């Protein structure tokens, strides 16, 4: 029994040495990026030293690096230490963003947690909050902070802050191809396409100068190539853009996200010209899922594309389904979009498009109206769409009411003209008049450089005059004459005042400048004349009469020539008139008579016995034949009769 304690001491020493060796092996595998081997060594360490915190962390990190996210989450749940940051990252990788954000609570102070939180918010579409966290991060401790910061600003719609951010960080946009690409995206959002194209080309050259493998260069060049093609597409160089997209798709060197964007943009350029090819390509990008959302993008594109890009792919597929009249598939996909893009306008617009395609415009108007009432702060595009649908469906009052609910554009001249026209079509003259009155009042109080009061008042006065509201029209014209001195307004004022106040009209008429060339005309004597004769004349009056007189004189001077007759024809004794049917075919003339058939062809010649045999054989044949159609029996008889007539003619000739 004495050796037992010694044996225990020896095994403890061996275990201690083996743990050190295992950690050394683990470190070596991690440095060589051999993550699967690192996981195995971590399991050996945990078997030798259960609950070792370093071994658990190394195993979780190795599983994450090996893209074994489910196994990493299982290891985190079994661990006895706090690994909430790693759990949040794994949930972020699984696109469970709300759970990931919840797991980060209480860990917001560290730099790693702030970076992860900003990425989660970016993926959730909360770009402003993501950028705010980036701006709070210490700039000296994070490499390439400016790249993610500029990307966040672009996605948040704050492109005007990009150049100021680069200046504050003392970084040039051409310092790296990633930063050049992100800065070019901000220029595209600001519609500075030429500058964006130049910056993308510079970023392309910067990437080529870096020491990367050819395959890596091709992969990194793909996003830049797609963005250059997009700029060409926007600038109207469609052929160059199509060639770039097609070449990128054929080479298949691009990453999945760039390839998906290229396919989508190429389909957008072609439109409904090749619906089947577009649907076939989009079928490779969208697939059905077993989850609650029913549809998802293939190959993990949901994690790689922004919400705007994913919306474009789903929208194009719905539109192609509508063009191909596949209504069941379109309804199924549109029904799933509110769960995929909660809070987005696009699912509502697509749902209305499906109803319009099904000739259910009233249903589309109802859906759009309900959404606009529920979310008035996001209703501008919805109301514009509702107005378009209603106007196309012949519902002008609904279209006018929809436009009137948009305060941003309500008093613009184009909107006022559209609402007035729609109300006129609906027969609401009072409502149209109220729109003009409201617009005149708004522009009278507007403190803008480009004031449209003159235009609005001119159109309002013409409208009132057209609908018999002469006093109001005269008041507007008089204001225009006093404030702007408009000749058109003065003419309108004279025309309006002439209906009721002749003296006032004559007083304003004196302000009109005399027309050139009318000084020699005495208006009083012209009024006393009887006026022009009511004769058939052209639109130019006397000019046409003079022209007709000249043409008559010319007609009188023409010399009549004697007609030429054929030789031997005496015009005094022309003889009988020619046959009026001489040019018709003989069969169509009234004098035509068809030739009579030769009755002798039916006579039978020969001995009497031979005739009896032929008659008997023919009667037997007819009785055995089945009943043929009428046309068939007639055709057979015709052939037979022709043959008998020929034979009879030969015998007669002999």
pLDDT at 164 over 50: yes
Output the average pLDDT for the chain: 80
pLDDT at 643 over 70: no
pLDDT at 196 over 90: yes
Helix (H) or strand (E) holding 295: strand 295-297
What does the pLDDT average to over 569-578? 80
pLDDT at 34 over 50: yes
| N-term to C-term CA, the chain | 149
pLDDT tens, 235-257?
999 999 999 999 988 887 668 88
Cα–Cα distance between 154 and 167 in angstroms, integer? 16
pLDDT at 614 over 60: no
What does the pLDDT average to over 326-346? 92
**pLDDT band for position 631 (50/70/90)?**
very low
Domain contains 439: yes
pLDDT at 11 over 90: no
Indicate which CATH number applies to the domain containing 445: 1.25.40
Cα–Cα distance between 281 and 259 in angstroms, integer? 11
* Chain centre distance of CA 381: 15
Domain count, the chain: 1
Q: What is the pLDDT of residue 3?
A: 39
Domain contains 437: yes
pLDDT tens, 228-238?
999 999 999 99
Per DSSP, 600 falls in state: G
Q: What is the pLDDT of residue 634?
A: 34
pLDDT at 101 over 70: yes
pLDDT at 15 over 60: no
pLDDT at 499 over 70: yes
Instruction: Determine which of 2-16, 330-344, 392-406 has the lowest per-residue pLDDT on average.
Output: 2-16
Q: What is the pLDDT of residue 241?
A: 94
Q: What is the pLDDT of residue 533?
A: 59
CA dihedral 404→406→411→417, nearest 10 degrees, is -50
φ, ψ of residue 588 in degrees (nearest 5): -95, -5
Instruction: Determine which of 375-384, 453-462, 615-624 has the lowest per-residue pLDDT on average.
Output: 615-624
Strands 295-297 vs 286-288: parallel, antiparallel or unpaired: antiparallel
Domain contains 206: no
pLDDT at 611 over 60: no
Domain contains 470: yes
What does the pLDDT average to over 301-318? 89
**pLDDT band for position 547 (50/70/90)?**
very low
Q: What tokens does 322 get?
A: 């509508």
Domain contains 75: no
Domain contains 483: yes
Q: pTM of the prediction?
A: 0.64
Contact call for residues 100 and 88 (beta carbons, < 8 A): yes
Q: What is the pLDDT of residue 393?
A: 94
More confident: 88 or 594? 88
Instruction: Determine which of 198-207, 346-355, 558-567 has the lowest per-residue pLDDT on average.
Output: 558-567
Domain contains 42: no
Contact call for residues 502 and 511 (beta carbons, < 8 A): no
**pLDDT band for position 187 (50/70/90)?**
very high
Cα–Cα distance between 115 and 134 in angstroms, integer? 7
Domain contains 497: yes
Matching residue, tokens 């089947």: 276
Residues 6+ apart with CB under 8 A from 77: none
pLDDT at 486 over 90: no
Instruction: Determine which of 255-269, 408-422, 591-605 has the lowest per-residue pLDDT on average.
Output: 591-605
φ, ψ of residue 51 in degrees (nearest 5): 80, 5
Cα–Cα distance between 585 and 423 in angstroms, integer? 68
What does the pLDDT average to over 515-542? 63
More confident: 503 or 248? 248
pLDDT at 648 over 70: no
Q: What is the pLDDT of residue 219?
A: 83
What does the pLDDT average to over 18-38? 86
pLDDT at 222 over 60: yes
> Comparing C-alpha atoms, which of 498, 513, 509 is closest to residue 465?
498
More confident: 299 or 2? 299
What does the pLDDT average to over 616-642? 38
Helix (H, G, I), strand (E, B) or coil at 558: coil
Residue-wise DSSP of 218-281: HHHHHHHHHHHHHHHHHTT-HHHHHHHHHHHHHH--S-HHHHHHHHHHHHHHHGGGGHHHHHHH
Per DSSP, 49 falls in state: S
What does the pLDDT average to over 564-588? 82
Its domain, for residue 444, covers: 428-511
């Amino acid at each position: 029994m004495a050796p037992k304690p010694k044996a225990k001491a020896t095994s403890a020493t061996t275990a201690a040495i083996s743990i050190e060796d295992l950690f050394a092996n683990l470190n070596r595998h991690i440095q060589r990026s051999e993550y699967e081997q690192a996981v195995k060594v971590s399991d050996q360490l945990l078997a030798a030293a259960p609950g070792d915190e370093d071994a658990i962390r190394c195993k979780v990190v190795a599983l994450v690096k090996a893209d074994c996210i489910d196994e990493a989450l299982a290891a985190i749940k079994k661990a006895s230490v706090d690994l909430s940051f790693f759990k949040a990252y794994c949930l972020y990788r699984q696109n469970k963003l709300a759970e990931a954000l919840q797991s980060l609570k209480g860990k917001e102070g560290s730099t790693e947690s702030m970076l992860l939180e900003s990425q989660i918010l970016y993926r959730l579409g909360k770009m402003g909050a993501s950028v705010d966290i980036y701006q709070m991060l210490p700039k000296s401790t994070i490499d390439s902070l400016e790249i993610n910061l500029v990307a966040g600003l672009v996605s948040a719609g704050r492109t005007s802050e990009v150049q100021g951010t680069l200046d504050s960080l003392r970084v040039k946009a051409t310092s790296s191809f990633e930063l050049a690409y992100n800065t070019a995206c901000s220029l595209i959002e600001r519609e500075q396409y030429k500058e964006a194209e130049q910056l993308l080309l510079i970023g392309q050259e910067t990437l080529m100068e870096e020491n990367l493998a050819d395959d890596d260069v091709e992969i990194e060049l793909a996003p830049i190539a797609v963005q250059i093609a997009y700029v060409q597409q926007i600038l109207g160089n469609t052929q160059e853009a199509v060639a770039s997209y097609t070449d990128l798709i054929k080479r298949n060197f691009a990453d999945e996200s760039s390839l998906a964007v290229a396919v989508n943009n190429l389909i957008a350029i072609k439109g409904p010209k090749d619906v089947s090819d577009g649907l076939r390509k989009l079928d490779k990008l969208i697939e059905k899922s077993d989850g609650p959302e029913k549809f998802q993008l293939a190959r993990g594109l949901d994690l790689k594309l922004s919400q705007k890009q994913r919306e474009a792919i789903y929208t194009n597929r719905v539109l192609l389904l509508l063009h191909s009249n596949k209504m069941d598939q379109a309804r199924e996909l549109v029904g799933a979009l509110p769960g995929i893009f909660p809070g987005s306008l696009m699912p509502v617009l697509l749902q209305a498009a499906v109803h319009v395609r099904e000739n259910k415009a009233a249903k589309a108007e109802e859906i759009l109206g309900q959404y606009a009432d529920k979310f008035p702060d996001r209703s501008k595009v919805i109301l514009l769409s509702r107005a378009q649908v209603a106007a196309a469906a012949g519902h002008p009052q609904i279209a006018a009411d929809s436009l009137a609910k948009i305060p941003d554009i309500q008093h613009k001249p184009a909107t006022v003209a559209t609402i007035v026209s729609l109300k006129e079509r609906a027969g609401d003259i009072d409502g149209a008049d109220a729109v003009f009155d409201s617009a005149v009042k708004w522009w009278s109080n507007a403190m803008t450089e480009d004031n449209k009061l003159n235009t609005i008042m001119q159109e309002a006065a013409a409208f009132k005059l057209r609908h018999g509201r002469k006093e109001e029209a005269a008041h507007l014209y008089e204001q225009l004459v006093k404030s702007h001195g408009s000749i058109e307004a003065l003419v309108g004022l004279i025309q309006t005042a002439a209906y009721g106040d002749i003296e006032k009209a004559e007083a304003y008429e004196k302000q009109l400048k005399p027309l050139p060339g009318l000084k020699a005309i005495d208006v009083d004597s012209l009024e006393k004349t009887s006026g022009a004769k009511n004769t058939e004349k052209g639109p130019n009056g006397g000019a046409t009469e003079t022209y007709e007189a000249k043409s008559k004189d010319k007609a009188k001077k023409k010399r009549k020539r004697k007609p030429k007759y054929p030789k031997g024809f005496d015009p005094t004794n022309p003889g009988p008139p020619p046959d009026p049917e001489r040019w018709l075919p003989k069969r169509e003339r009234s004098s035509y008579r068809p030739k009579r058939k030769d009755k002798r062809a039916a006579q039978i010649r020969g001995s009497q016995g031979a005739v009896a045999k032929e008659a008997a054989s023919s009667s037997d044949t007819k009785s055995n034949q089945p009943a043929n159609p009428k046309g068939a029996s007639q055709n057979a008889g015709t052939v037979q009769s022709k043959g008998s007539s020929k034979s009879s003619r030969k015998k007669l000739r002999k």
